[in-house]
Structure formats: structure tokens, C-alpha cells
Amino acid sequence: MLVAPPASVAAASAVPEVVLLRRAYLLMHTAAEMAALYEAQKTVAARYVHATARGHEAVQLAAAFLLTGADYAAPYYRDDALLLGLGLRPYELMLQLLAKRDDPFSGGRTYYSHPSLRREGLPVIPHQSSATGMQAIPATGMAHAIQYLEYVKSEKLTAGGAPAAAPDPTPPVNPLVLCSIGDGAMTEGEVSEALQMAVLHRLPIVYLVQDNDWGISATGEEMRAMDAYEFAAGFPGLHRVRVDGADFVSSYNGLSEAFEHVRQRGGPALVHAKCPLLGHHTSGVRREWYRGDDLATHQQQDPLPRLHRRLLQAGALEKDLIALAARARATVAADWALALAAPDPDPATFADHEFAPPAVLAEAGERAPAGADKVLMVDAALHAVDDILREFPEALFYGQDVGGELGGVFREAALLAKKYGDRRVFNTPIQEAYIVGSTAGMAAVGARPIVEIQFADYIWPALNQLVEELSKSCYLSMGKFPVPALIRVPVGAYGGGGPYHSGSIESTLLTIRGIKVVYPSNAADMKGLLRSAFLDPNPVVLLEHKGLYWSKVPGTEDAKTIEPAAGYVIPLGKAAVAQAAAPDRLRAGDTCVVITYGMGVHWATAASRVYPGRVEVLDLRTLNPLDWEGVLAAVARHGKILVLTEEPLLNSFAESLAGRIQTQCFLQLDAPVYTLGAANLPAIALNVELEKQMLPSAAKVAKVLGELLGY
């Protein structure tokens, strides 16, 4: 029998058992009819690959019935029954299946049962990838944001320290996150990172693991040493529940227990549901290719006849159940006809929603206030974050070693944890994927994360999240879920940092569409760009050169500048002339321009002293979006161009930019576009003399400038 649902579970309270079972029966038939129709119409339905819930319907519907409009959900690609249980029409799911214009999730841009939804009364479902384990990190980030914003409300944190609004006398149910995942995906390392953080911070999240013993064509025995329930025992504090995922009542009762545990803030929970796989893995990997006799075994656990028998035992009439099945069949057929006739997307909209509109459109605030002192670049960054945390209670800052006493290995977060508390400024484990991927979930709930990767050389474990979760979210959700996340990354070589603390990574980042990449060269730009990056509604990676932090490297004294006032901003995508050529030399036509960024600005200005008045230095400041208009104007002024980078030159952003200039500005050029970068080697050597041989320098730049000016 169904247990009486907890009072806090508003979606199911006071619903008679037979009514709930009948609702489940109708929707279970609806999901099954959809799967059968897709198979019968496979020449049309399988044009784009899809998977269905067939065999998983019972546990998915149980979960859907327990979710409320206050909650958040991260379904996986087999969860179409869950979406039906939330109230979505078959027609809406079919629009996505057929990649139609009015697909409510993505406008025809992403796969079936890959939802992203903001709809009154339903859980918020942010965009996520194909959900083969990666979704666990953003989902856990959602739970972390829920917990943090509850703390903000309880502490009455508001901008400027003013008291918050009075609490609602009838607060809604405590929200939670449902993360749905297949058992095969539980073997992903990123899932372990998510579970670690969920337990460490006692986050309000339920992990629903649907275990059908298959991962495409590999069996559970081949893929894992234990199932998810057994694996979860290694995370003390993670509440565990086993259910029969093919039985609606077992699923509902077990999930009710888990949901109540989480709503009462007892910490995270994991529900392991054993389910049969009755359909294909996907429409592109068909069951007849690999299942053999296993399919007949799974069919014995079909949740539909099991629910049918239970309803009869509860007093339902056979004729009424037949009528419900017929109603489901008719709804599916009618919705299919409507979906087939629905319009396709307008091809002209293909590029819409790469980014959400920027928040900062023009430079504002005081760049050089009267009486202000000069400041180091590292301190400008610290002060900018301090200003943000003071003004925006939704902002928080985390990463490796940024909290506690240390405040970052470069002291770039010094004393912030003491000032704002360890709920807002805190250390994470060595989990780059979690640090970056959690920002997508944080942002979806309303928190504004600033995170740090300790060294650029350690960002690679985070690329999966950066590419699959953050960069695609705005585009694939049609702008519903941009990810306002600021990711700080110390980069660059100086003085023997060696192969794992000296890397430059901008070219790799710039192959990822949907993120912005910013690279300041001085303290004033650091403060203005960091704030703009925080305010931007898109993912921004801020590259911070370690050799410029303290202006100790010879030739980098100009990185130390007058400190701008609080609130100073520079729009992203706007280059600056760091050094202009002399007007008389410009009129004489014997000048050139160095287009560069970061440390390159300082190499170029030092090198230019050999050629007084003849060298302009254009500091790009933002690499994506690139100030192409600024580049065109500089090319038109000079006709001779050097593109300078610290990265190895071969196949770099610098070479790409040089090629673009050569192609689009050919008639304005007085010489080939020159390039200079580091040696094309896989790492920076530890020995400082070897490092010098590998990297550009002012002397090397001066030599190239001589060749260019004399061309």
C-alpha cells in the first residue's frame, strides 16, 4: 500500500490511493504508447536519435508526482515519463523529437528528452548535456545554491547591510534538487566529485539512480564492481534507499522517504531503483542487435501489467482501465498528427542566443580618481572581488585554497573568508570539474559564483563541464539559462614555474564557443574587467598573468596603476591603445602596430623604445568577443602588423588572428602579417635559462620589429 505522504509533499497530500494509481496508469500508458508509436513510425521518428522510458515509467512517474514548483530537476535522456508526470503534453515532447520550431525546450536545437524549462508551477529544469554522469555536478551546484540562498535569507544579507524583507509567514515547501541518472553513468569520476560535495556540505539533493543493468551494449557486470547503492555506502552521510523501480508503489514510498529526509534538511539522499529496459538503448542502438534472451527476462518486470494488477486489487474496474489505455492512445495519436504538421525552425534564427546580452555596454566609473594610490594587479583583483561580495549578497567565491587563512596561493583572496564567512568564501577539494561545472547549477538557482582554478595547467579536468554544460546552455535553451559565472585562472610563465605552473591556455579556450575570454595586462584593467565579467550574464574565463600580479618581473612596472574607484567597469570586447605611435611618424608612414595582450603588452612597449615613436601597441584585453573593429582601425593606421603571444605559436589564436587580418585586410597591408610566440614545445622547462629560450622577450620582439619596419 502507499504510505501516507508527508505533509510537506504538496504534490501528493490528501490524494486517495486509487486516484494516484489511476493517474500513474494513464501516464504510464501514454509513455508506452509514445514509445510504440515512435517504433511504428521509425522512418520519421528516428531521423534524430532518441531514447524512451519504456520499463522505467513507474519510478519516473513516482518522482514526478513528488516534485513541486519550488524544486529543481536534472532529468536524464530516458526520462520522458518523468516529464509527462510533471504535466508536459506528449505534443511538446514530440516537437522536440522532430526538432520543430515550437519545441519548448530548445526550438529544435537539441535531442528528445533533453529539457530546459521555466514554467510556473513546475520544477525548474536547467539545460544540461546528454546526462551520462556530467549532470551530477551542475545538479549538485543547484543544491549548493539553494542552501546558500537559504542562508542569505536567514541571515538577512542584503546589499549595503540593510535589513532584508520580512520572511513569508507561510513559506513554501523546502526546495530540493532531483538528479536523475543511469547506473552506468555512476562510474563517472565527476559523479564522485558531486557526491563528495553533497555530503561534505549536506546539500538538499536526491540522486535517483535508474539501474537497468545495461550501458548501451555493455552489461552491468562488465562495467562496475558494485551497484550504485553499494557504491553510495562509501559516502557517510548520504542517505540510501532501495526501491523496485518497476513497481509504482515501491518507487513512490521509497522516494517519499528520500524526499522527506532531504526536505527536512537531513542531507543528501540516493535512491537506487532497479528497472527493466524494454525498449532500445536508443533509436540508433536497437535491442535486437545485442539483447538476446535478456529482453524476455526484462519483460517479466514490465511496470504496466504490474500496475494494472494492483489497480484491480484496489477495486478499479477492468473497463475503466481499458478506457484509460484508449484515452492515452488517442491523445498520443492526435498529438503526433499535430507535431508532424508543426512548422520547422526558421533557418535565419540559427545563430540566435549564442550569448545573453551583455550587462556593461560602456566604460563607467573613475579609472584614475584624484589622490588614489597606485596598486598592484593582484590587489586590484582582490579589491574588485571584495567590492562585489559587499554589494551582491548572491555572490560567493570558491576554489582550491581561496578560503581560510591562505586566501589563495597568490594571496588574491586574502582575508575574504574571514570578512565574509566560510559559506561565501570557501575551499573546495581538488575537483576542477566540480569547481567549474557547479557554477551552471548555482546560476540557474540565482546565486552568482566566482570560482578559481589554481593554475591554468590544472584546468583540463574542468573542460568537460565548461564545454558541455556552461558553453552550450544559453544557445540550447534559447536564452532561458545563460550561465553568469566568473572563472578566474592564473596563467603564464615567469622565473622557473616549470611545466605545471606556467601554461598559457587561451587558444584552447577560444575553440569553445559560448564562453568569453578576458585577459587584462594592468591593475586598472583588471579591476574594471573583473567587475564587468562578474556582471556579464554569460560564462567568462578571466586569465590573470602571474608574472604581472606583483610587477616584480623586469619590464612589468607599468602593470601597477592608479587604482580605479569601486564600481569601475570596462565593457568586454573593447581593445585599448596601450601606446600610440607619434603623429609625425604616423603621417610619414613608417610605423607599425603590435596586436597583443597580457605579458605581450609589456614586451612590446619595452621593445618599442628601440624605435621611438614608430610602434603602436594595441592591447586586446578581451579575446572573445574580439574587438575586430579596433583591429581593423589599427591595421588601417599602420599597414604593418605584428601579432604577439606568449603561447606556442603553431596553430594558436595569434596565428588565427594573423591569418584573418591577412585575408580580410590584404589591400591595406604594406608587409606580411608577422607573428611571434613561444617555441612549439609541449611544456615550459623548469630551468630559467631554458625558459628564456622558449619564451618571447623584449629583445626578441625588438628584433622582429626591426624586420617589420624595414620591410
252: domain CATH number?
3.40.50.970
The pLDDT score that the predictor gives to residue 5 is 46
Residue from 637, 645, 640 nearest 710 by CA: 640
| DSSP assigned state of 285 | B
441 with 414, same domain: the answer is yes
Q: Which three cell numbers stand for residue 536?
A: 556579464
470 with 338, same domain: the answer is no
290 with 241, same domain: the answer is yes
CA–CA gap between residue 22 and residue 603 (Å, rounded): 74
252 with 333, same domain: the answer is yes
Structure confidence by residue, pLDDT tens digits, 490-513: 999 988 898 999 999 999 999 999
Residue 661: how many CA atoms within 13 Å on its side-chain side? 34
On whether residue 351 sits in a domain, the answer given is no
On whether residue 350 sits in a domain, the answer given is no
Which one is catalytic: 501, 545, 602, 638? 501
408 with 466, same domain: the answer is yes
416 with 277, same domain: the answer is no
Residue ranges making up the domain that contains 683: 576-709
The residue ranges of the chain whose pLDDT is under 50 are 4-15, 160-163
Q: Where are the alpha helices (DSSP H) in 300-431?
A: 303-313, 318-341, 377-391, 416-420
Residue from 219, 144, 176 nearest 74 by CA: 176
Catalytic residue status for 29: no
The pLDDT score that the predictor gives to residue 82 is 98
308 with 438, same domain: the answer is no
The structural domain count of the chain equals 3
Residue 649: how many CA atoms within 13 Å on its side-chain side? 16
Neighbours of 168 (CB within 10 A): 8
On whether residue 365 sits in a domain, the answer given is no
Structure confidence by residue, pLDDT tens digits, 157-171: 555 444 455 555 556
544 with 592, same domain: the answer is no
On whether residue 11 sits in a domain, the answer given is no
| DSSP assigned state of 458 | G
124 with 254, same domain: the answer is yes
